[in-house]
Amino acid sequence: MAVYNYDVVILGSGPAGEGAAMNASKAGRKVAVVENYSQLGGGCTHLGTIPSKALRHSVRQILQYNTNPLFRQIGEPRWFSFPDVLKSAERVIAKQVTSRTSYYARNRIDIFFGTASFADENTVEVFSHNGVLERLTAKQVIIATGSRPYRPADVDFNHPRIYDSDTILNLGHTPRRLIIYGAGVIGTEYASIFSGLGVLVDLIDNRDQLLSFLDDEISDALSYHLRYNNVLIRHNEEYERVEGITNGVILHLKSGKKIKADAFLWCNGRTGNTDSLKLENIGLKANSRGQIQVDQQYRTEVPNIYAAGDVIGWPSLASAAYDQGRSAAGSIVENDSCRFVDDVPTGIYTIPEISSIGKNERELTQAKIPYEVGKAFFKGMARAQISGEEVGMLKILFHRETLEILGVHCFGYQASEIVHIGQAIMNQPGEGNTLKFFVNTTFNYPTMAEAYRVAAFDGLNRLF
């Protein structure tokens, strides 16, 4: 058995693994990454963030073509199949793999393709896809093995019409009717994608409100627009049985309802990828969701073993995973790059897009903070009218006495970009973080960013 010696060995090449690998390597450590998929990039690139965002982009282009009167000169509205839009996602994935692979090569990071497990706390064994066993020794190990869809035992995922968010990328046809079970971020994003392709979607929610962590007004707006696009949202429902039939699925709900569709997409929960790691060999135990507990330095209970990304649970976002991985490596190399990632913006790529940072109205009211609201509706803004993107709103919540910005909530075109302007201002020290910035600063015109100026004036006008 071949043995290789490293300073830091990283398990997984998603955003958490990549952030960790780059930081450790730039600090002069000898680094190896073990990846059990056949290409680099992690679940993020191959199954999660990238394919879903590329699919959504194509769907939005189709919607634009079908609704913009300009395009009627060149043809009638057209519908595209799911496999058609999947092809464009595959092109993006290939480009991402190429760029990410080059980062590792440029930073002289060794890659081992195979499944990693612990022999002891300084030894990782890699069982490669062609059956070869290799052994890597490491002073430190960072676990960045991500997560996968949770699969309850009573749902038959071998049935050809029952999918989860990984296997949906193998869907070879466009269903006429689709049941999406689970109305979290992934479920609502896929509801937007499929309804944009003209599929009738039943979105089954265990709760009484969509994405209840959002500002109520934004959550209501999302429900309105999903319904407008033919998504039937069914709140407070739980499955009793998922029955796979020939060419379809019948969902039996505990409430007594039965729903029939051509396909069923399970989007209810995820589990950490820890089962193949042989954690027992290092005295570590994952929780019931397969997640590993870490401290604010991303260190596990075993002093030289760290963990980052989806495998540690919240927030389970690629955005945070990269910073967590980078921070885990920062804590190993003891430079100033370790920070505990707890202030994460929300970016939800539904149609319309949603993004927010800071507190929402419910939280501020509960905390009895005297806040005021400033709003800008996209329908009145020049850039939105030019782009034909008039659905949306920016809402700034600010302290009515100090004018400090307490929260920024946005839905509509470019929401996930727009929110970063608010985030940057909220992070300014002292009086830099007030509404005054937006009224005393000249913005490019016409832009979507101008919404901040409009919302700031609207908010100031409410003060007395």
Ligand X SMILES: Cc1cc2nc3c(=O)[nH]c(=O)nc-3n(C[C@H](O)[C@H](O)[C@H](O)COP(=O)(O)OP(=O)(O)OC[C@H]3O[C@@H](n4cnc5c(N)ncnc54)[C@H](O)[C@@H]3O)c2cc1C
Annotated binding site for NAD(+): 182-189, 269
- Please tell me whether residue 42 binds ligand X under the rule CB under 6 A: yes
Closest by CA to 414, choosing from 459, 461, 330, 355, is 355
Question: Which stretch, 223-231, 312-320, 385-393, 401-409, contacts ligand X (CB under 6 A)?
Answer: 312-320
Give 187 or 248: the residue with its C-beta nearer to ligand X. 187
Residues 6 or more apart whose Cβ sits within 8 Å of residue 72: none
DSSP output for 318-345: HHHHHHHHHHHHHHHHTSTT--------
**Per CB under 6 A, does 313 bind ligand X?**
no
Residue 135 CB coordination number (10 Å): 14
Length of the chain: 464
Looking at the Cβ atoms of 313 and 459, the one nearer to ligand X is 313
Q: Which is nearer to ligand X, 211 or 455 (CB)?
A: 211
Residues whose CB falls within 8 Å of the CB of residue 186, separated by 6 or more in sequence, listed in order: 52, 165, 267
Among 9, 10, 16, 376, binds ligand X (CB under 6 A): 16
CA-to-CA distance for 11 and 262, rounded, in angstroms? 38
Rounded to 5 degrees, φ, ψ at 228 are -60, -30
How many Cα atoms within 13 Å fall on the side-chain side of residue 208?
0
Query: Which CB sits closer to ligand X, 35 or 361?
Result: 35
State which of residues 36, 219, 331, 433 lies at the interface with ligand X (CB under 6 A): 36
Residue 231, both tokens:
């998504």
Q: Which is nearer to ligand X, 265 or 376 (CB)?
A: 265
**DSSP string spanning 60-120?**
HHHHHHHH-GGGGGT-------HHHHHHHHHHHHHHHHHHHHHHHHHTT-EEEEEEEEEEE
> Looking at 7, 14, 192, 219, which residue binds ligand X (CB under 6 A)?
14
User: In degrees to the nearest 10, what's the CA dihedral of 177, 183, 187, 191?
Assistant: 40
Q: How far is the CB of 87 from ligand X (least distance, A)?
A: 18
Determine, following the binding rule CB under 6 A, whether residue 115 of this chain makes contact with ligand X: yes
Within 8 A by CB and 6+ apart from 402, the residues are 434
Crossing angle of helices 415-426 and 450-461, in 10° steps, is 60
DSSP conformation letters of 331-399: HHHTSTT--------EEE-SSS-EEEEE--HHHHHHTT--EEEEEEEGGG-HHHHHHT---EEEEEEEE
The number of CA neighbours under 13 Å toward the Cβ of 275 is 8
Minimum Å distance from CB 274 to ligand X?
8
Query: Is residue 43 within the footprint of ligand X (CB under 6 A)?
Result: yes
Interface with ligand X, residue 412, by CB under 6 A:
no
Task: Kindly state the smallest distance separating residue 256's Cβ from ligand X, in Å.
Answer: 31
Q: Kindly tell me which residue out of 62, 186, 305, 396 binds ligand X, with binding defined by CB under 6 A.
A: 186
Residue (23 or 52) nearer to ligand X, CB: 52
Nearer to ligand X among residue 167 and residue 447 (C-beta): 167
Return the residue of 8, 9, 11, 292 that touches ligand X, per CB under 6 A. 11
Selected range binding ligand X among 46-54, 203-211, 329-337, 364-372, rule: CB under 6 A: 46-54
Does 116 bind ligand X (CB under 6 A)? Our answer is yes
The single residue among 49, 195, 219, 300 that binds ligand X, judged by CB under 6 A, is: 49
CB of 183 to ligand X, least distance (A): 14
Which of 9, 17, 279, 338 touches ligand X (CB under 6 A)?
17
Residues 248-277, mask of contacts with ligand X (x by CB under 6 A) = -------------------------x--xx
Task: By CB under 6 A, name the one of 23, 25, 35, 181 that touches ligand X.
Answer: 35
Q: Which is nearer to ligand X, 351 or 405 (CB)?
A: 351
Could you tell me how far CA 458 lies from the centroid of its own chain? 32
Distance of alpha carbon 248 from alpha carbon 262, whole angstroms: 4
Q: What is the 3-state secondary structure (H, E, C) of 7-51?
A: EEEEECCCHHHHHHHHHHHHCCCCEEEEECCCCCCHHHHHCCHHH
- Binding residue for ligand X, selected from 316, 346, 350, 355, defined by CB under 6 A: 316
Q: Is residue 317 part of the contact set for ligand X (CB under 6 A)?
A: yes
Site string for ligand X, 346-385 (x = CB under 6 A): -x-x------------------------------------
DSSP state letter for 272: E
Residues 6+ apart with CB under 8 A from 382: 445, 446, 450
How many residues bind to ligand X according to rule CB under 6 A? 38
| Candidate list 21, 44, 59, 435; residue touching ligand X; CB under 6 A | 44
Nearer to ligand X, 317 or 435 (CB): 317
Contact criterion met (CB below 8 Å) for 315 and 16 = no
Q: Where along the sequence are the contacts to ligand X (CB under 6 A)? A: 11-17, 34-37, 42-44, 48-49, 52-53, 115-116, 144-146, 165, 186, 273, 276-277, 309-311, 316-319, 321, 347, 349
